[in-house]
Structure 1
Amino acid sequence: MKIRAAVLHQMGLERPYTDSKPLTVGELELEPPRAGEVLVKIRAAGLCHSDLSVIDGNRPRQMPMVLGHEAAGEVVELGPNVHDLAVGDHVVFSFVPICGHCMPCMTGRPALCENGVAANNRGELLGGGFRLKDRDGRPVHHHMGVSGFAEYTVVSRKSIVRIDPALPFDIAALFGCAVMTGVGAVINTARLSLGQTVLITGMGGIGFAALLGALAGGAGRIIVADVNPSKLEKALELGAHAVVNPSDENAVEQVKDLTNGGVDIGFEFAGVVPALEFTYNATGRGGKTVTAGLPHPSKFMQLAPVRLVAEERTLQGSYIGSCIPARDIPAYIGLYQAGRLPVDRLMTHRIQLDDINEGFERLAKGEAIRQIITF
């Protein structure tokens, strides 16, 4: 079938993206689903900083590629051997397809699925190969097994989670990355305990979702750090107890003064090494620093190992919030529906597919939290 989709042909084009237009919206050919796959009509897709990191070259991927990994949609066709879904089901995408039989999957850590990550790195689906082609019949790569910036997509059954159809698609899309990653980092990776103090650095969609997750999880005091004053103001509006600009010369001391020596848990979502170093230094003795940021692979952090030992510190990564998507996405949706996780307040813009380059320029400027493309 023929579909419209946003294709990235070259990484690292100069900004502003409103001029260079890295994403080209055009017609592609989409093959029908194979065994174990599903055809989904995309209803909503979010613009995430991880997509931006591919566009600017900080997260190198195979080209050309249909981007988009945070999305929700409606099942329109089932491939052979898919028996646990029905046409018309509403689904949220998980950007790590979960094979279920590699060692991480079998030991309860599907976010590290070896086969899923390998397929994502190749720009293929979990079952291998491509389902997208350009007008000349050349293959187009899949982004994270999803490729959500398109009218329709074919995905592995293991890349989607069925959800409550009462949830609007534009809100549902947020649970595919921002909520799963941010809330999951707080609940699953850091295992926040009631009353613990928290620092969150880097207030994009994931950082704000982590703020909501820390509030829902019973954090005693939440400090937010960002260089953008408008985002600090928004954090206070959503419930943060204090804010800090990490570019201030005494920013670490400010956090320590607010928490009697440093926070119990520091979260870093900015994706730049100085932000991680700041967060680590503002975490107290015996504390835990969790990062879900993705700096360029060439970047490194300086660390004094003696502090890890003498202060019993922990520095830990978090990928897709250490989530089990089939378990956590419905649970987080339930919290939203109960009024305890108001993620709808993270949406700042609703746009059309043709406006996608303008949307990514807005994201790069820090002028948006979550922008949702609706179809």
Structure 2
Amino acid sequence: MVREPGTPPEVAEIHLPEVGPGQVRVRIRAAGVCHSDLSMVNGTLTPPHPLVLGHEAAGEVAEVGAGVTRVAVGDHVALNWAPPCRECWFCTHGEPWLCSTANVAALENGSTLDGVPVYVTLGLGAFAEQVVVPAHAVIPVPAALDHAGAALLGCSVLTGTGAVRTTAGVSEGDAVLVIGLGGVGLSVVAAARAARAAAVIAVDVSPAKKDLAAAAGATDFVVAGDTLSKDVRALTGGRGADHAFECVGRAATIRSAWRATRRGGQVTVVGMGRGDDMLQLSALDIFSSARTLRSSVYGSSDPDVELPVLAREVVAGELRLDHLITDRIGLAGVPAAFDRMARGEGARSVVVF
């Protein structure tokens, strides 16, 4: 829990609310440390405090409230940090990832031992032994799927895979550029390779990410720098990438992705950036390049439909996740995991209970 803005996370006891109608209590078994959690403490986002971090998680249903038929006690589930309402304009027009009621930075849910209201990240607050959430925020997964893998499906894998399959529609033979090799970026690399992209060029500021990129399926690795556009064109017959995925969330890297993409190509922004980090492109460049610039929110996915598909692929051995987990930690290891993330080290740290 982070008690005040600017203070480090600490392990603390809180009171969970009682399970009400339409709610479930989940015993968390694994929770990934995501860059969105870091954004809650480094000033990129400004949620209310005290704040329980964590949103990429999986576990077992421990209790169900009245009227809940979606899951039963003992079921294995992954958590959904943006459950759609199924009633707003976006949900009824086939865009549940843009649901008007989802994507809330923090909600009040529980209290400290001395009665101060507690807020939970993205409605979940999953860096905790247990959570109480709406029933539509949990998705059943096969018991054969390990909890750490199920946790990653709920955010990094669904986001990265959806960006490739749904948002961008990468096709066989395409040249793909991926900038930023955290958990999401590596998931983009793996999904692009699975889509039979001819070239998957992985880019990161850290040379140490080369082996992780190769394990995910990258055909080439480039250290980010001023010559990125030239380097990418040298690997793509002089044209540039057909698809570029920016998985950092910075104006500078979005511009780099734009410049390294061929005329008529697509740039997909997957990383979440700051509101004051302004992107500038010339009107002439936009017209003459004929490139498309878009974002991918939660992989443009419907988690209720697509997460179970991914889970089945993992169980069947068609989708590998082992290269995504570089550190298994306890709750006390979250601050160090944030430090590794800020330094660009490793892929995903996963809290294992």
Do both proteins adopt the same fold according to a TM-score greater than 0.5, normalized to the shorter chain?
yes
Residues 212, 323 of structure 2: 8 Å contact kept: no
Q: CA deviation at 1:190?
A: 0.5
More displaced stretch, 353-362 vs 153-162: 353-362
Residues 202, 226 of structure 1: 8 Å contact kept: yes
Of the three residues 92, 101, 106, the one matched with 1:115 is: 101
Q: Find the aligned partners of 1:164 and 1:150 in 2 and give their Cα distance.
A: 22
Of the three residues 266, 269, 276, the one matched with 2:247 is: 269
1:25 aligns with 2:19: no
1:350 aligns with 2:344: no
Counterpart amino acid of residue 256 in structure 1: R
- Local SS of the residue matching 2:351: strand
1:231 aligns with 2:217: no
Residues 60, 76 of structure 2: 8 Å contact kept: yes
Residues 145, 156 of structure 1: 8 Å contact kept: no
Q: CA deviation at 1:239?
A: 2.1
1:10 aligns with 2:4: yes
Residues 200, 223 of structure 1: 8 Å contact kept: yes
More displaced stretch, 83-92 vs 334-343: 334-343
**Where do 1:63-82 residues align within 5 Å?**
63-82=49-68
Q: CA deviation at 1:34?
A: 1.8
Q: CA deviation at 1:9?
A: 2.0
Q: Find the aligned partners of 1:305 and 1:103 in 2 and give their Cα distance.
A: 32
Q: 1:75–1:278: structure 2 CA closer, same or farther, 3 Å change rule?
A: same
Q: CA deviation at 1:83?
A: 1.5
1:287 aligns with 2:281: no
Of the three residues 126, 130, 134, the one matched with 1:148 is: 126
Q: Find the aligned partners of 1:215 and 1:338 in 2 and give their Cα distance.
A: 18
Q: CA deviation at 1:299?
A: 0.6
Structure 2 alignment gaps of length 5 or more: none
Q: Which residue of structure 2 aligns with residue 184 of structure 1?
A: 162
Q: Which residue of structure 1 aligns with residue 198 of structure 2?
A: 220
Q: Which residue of structure 2 aligns with residue 256 of structure 1?
A: 233
Counterpart amino acid of residue 9 in structure 1: R
Q: Deviations over 1:303-353 (max 9, x none)?
A: 123333333211001111111001111111222223232112211011111
Residues 246, 278 of structure 1: 8 Å contact kept: no
1:39 aligns with 2:17: no
Q: CA deviation at 1:51?
A: 0.6
Q: Deviations over 1:186-212 (max 9, x none)?
A: 111111112111000000000001111
More displaced stretch, 227-236 vs 275-284: 227-236
Q: Find the aligned partners of 2:284 and 2:44 in 1 and give their Cα distance.
A: 31
Q: 1:238–1:292: structure 2 CA closer, same or farther, 3 Å change rule?
A: closer
Q: Find the aligned partners of 2:71 and 2:92 in 1 and give their Cα distance.
A: 23
- Local SS of the residue matching 2:11: strand
Runs of 4+ in 1 over 3 A off after TM superposition: none
Residues 174, 199 of structure 2: 8 Å contact kept: yes
Structure 1 alignment gaps of length 5 or more: 1-6, 14-21, 125-129
Of the three residues 324, 335, 338, the one matched with 2:316 is: 338
Q: 1:242–1:161: structure 2 CA closer, same or farther, 3 Å change rule?
A: same
1:55 aligns with 2:55: no
Q: Which residue of structure 1 aligns with residue 282 of structure 2?
A: 304
Of the three residues 277, 301, 305, the one matched with 1:323 is: 301
Counterpart amino acid of residue 16 in structure 2: L
Of the three residues 50, 70, 74, the one matched with 1:88 is: 74
Residues 216, 340 of structure 1: 8 Å contact kept: no
Q: CA deviation at 1:84?
A: 2.2
Q: Deviations over 1:87-146 (max 9, x none)?
A: 0111101111211101111111111110123xx24x22xxxxx33100121110111111
Q: Which residue of structure 2 aligns with residue 4 of structure 1?
A: none
1:173 aligns with 2:173: no
- Local SS of the residue matching 2:69: coil
Of the three residues 222, 229, 253, the one matched with 1:244 is: 222
Counterpart amino acid of residue 57 in structure 1: G
Q: Which residue of structure 1 aligns with residue 187 of structure 2?
A: 209
Counterpart amino acid of residue 213 in structure 1: A
Q: Find the aligned partners of 1:74 and 1:207 in 2 and give their Cα distance.
A: 28
Q: Find the aligned partners of 1:149 and 1:289 in 2 and give their Cα distance.
A: 33
Counterpart amino acid of residue 112 in structure 2: D
Q: Deviations over 1:207-229 (max 9, x none)?
A: 00111111111211110111100
Q: CA deviation at 1:368?
A: 2.2
Q: 1:143–1:180: structure 2 CA closer, same or farther, 3 Å change rule?
A: same
Superposition TM-score, scaled by structure 2 size: 0.96
Q: Find the aligned partners of 1:245 and 1:12 in 2 and give their Cα distance.
A: 32
Q: Find the aligned partners of 1:237 and 1:86 in 2 and give their Cα distance.
A: 37
Q: Find the aligned partners of 1:77 and 1:237 in 2 and give their Cα distance.
A: 39
Q: Find the aligned partners of 2:245 and 2:318 in 1 and give their Cα distance.
A: 21
Aligned length, in residue pairs: 352
